[in-house]
Amino acid sequence: EAGVVQSPRYKIIEKKQPVAFWCNPISGHNTLYWYLQNLGQGPELLIRYENEEAVDDSQLPKDRFSAERLKGVDSTLKIQPAELGDSAVYLCASSLGVATGQGGDEQFFGPGTRLTVL
Amino acid sequence: AQSVTQLDSQVPVFEEAPVELRCNYSSSVSVYLFWYVQYPNQGLQLLLKYLSGSTLVKGINGFEAEFNKSQTSFHLRKPSVHISDTAEYFCAVSQNRDDKIIFGKGTRLHILP
């Protein structure tokens, strides 16, 4: 069974340019997460989807970040325009979602996209 | 608000020696606790989790952790480490009935030959 797929794995852009990351979750997983991981830190949740609905986007900087999961399967995270401080690893994760509301639902992580903003 | 503290940013240990990675959490309600491992240039992989029941939880790769409610700790242990255990280890907590997971800052495990 394929795991969570993310692309690209690495991206280098100049500041003020737009950038987009793509994530394809494990087949059958209803819940999808985007995390930001700064160097030397743990992942921080940006947004969580239940199917196509964003149920928690409280940590997403909405002035420059946007995300979509139109058909409830794959998802795209966009930054426009990118700033120097956006350099980080962007992780996508998915889970079955059957335990929604009860906690403890195992999340499976993709390898991440390492973004460098020059 | 819940939070996770990993007291050691780096832990060096000799190969085949035992190791303990410390984790403390704060939460006003019941919690679920997790340990994830991140190998270089890879995503996170679940090592083990505590949801309820026995406070001693066994995970993959010979790791185990013990939930201590009175000390609000969830330390990770392995009796004998291998060079392949070199990685970053993250402790995480989620509140009961809430899927949001809060991660600690991670502990880098260095295995010395």
Strand partners, B49: B34
The angle formed by the CA atoms of residues B20, B87 and A20, to the nearest 5 degrees, is 135
DSSP letter at A107 equals P
- Kindly report, residue by residue over A51-110, the tens digit of the pLDDT: 999 988 989 999 999 999 988 899 999 999 999 999 999 999 998 876 555 555 788 999
* Cα separation, B28 vs B49, whole angstroms: 19
| β-strands A65-68, A53-56 pairing | unpaired
Residue A49, min C-alpha distance to chain B (Å) = 11
Residue B66, min C-alpha distance to chain A (Å) = 17
E strand intervals along chain A: 5-7, 10-13, 19-24, 31-37, 44-50, 53-56, 65-68, 75-79, 88-95, 108-109, 113-117
Closest residue to B105, CB basis, from A4, A40, A93:
A40
B107 vs A: CB within 8 A? no
Residue A5 has pLDDT above 60, yes or no: yes
Mean pLDDT of the region B31-57: 90
- Within 10 angstroms of residue B71's Cβ, the number of other Cβ atoms is 10
Question: What pLDDT is attached to residue B98?
Answer: 54
Question: What pLDDT is attached to residue A40?
Answer: 87
Interface size between A and B, measured as CB pairs under 8 A? 64
Residue B28 has pLDDT above 90, yes or no: no
CB B81 within 8 A of CB B11: no
Type of residue found at A100: T
Q: For residue B94, which residues of chain A lie inside 8 Å, CB to CB?
A: 103-104
Q: For residue B45, which residues of chain A lie inside 8 Å, CB to CB?
A: 109
A4 vs B: CB within 8 A? yes
- Kindly report, residue by residue over B91-100, the tens digit of the pLDDT: 999 875 556 7
Q: Which 20-59 residues of chain A touch chain B by CB within 8 A?
A: 31, 40-45, 48, 56
Strand partners, B93: B33, B102
Does the beta-carbon distance from B44 to A56 stay under 8 Å? Answer: no
| A47: closest chain B residue by CA | B100
Does the beta-carbon distance from B43 to A95 stay under 8 Å? Answer: no
pLDDT confidence tier of residue B27, bands split at 50, 70 and 90: confident
Own/partner pairs for A48-52, CB < 8 Å, 24+ apart?
A: A48/B99, A48/B100, A49/A75, A50/A97, A50/A100
* Cα separation, B97 vs B21, whole angstroms: 27
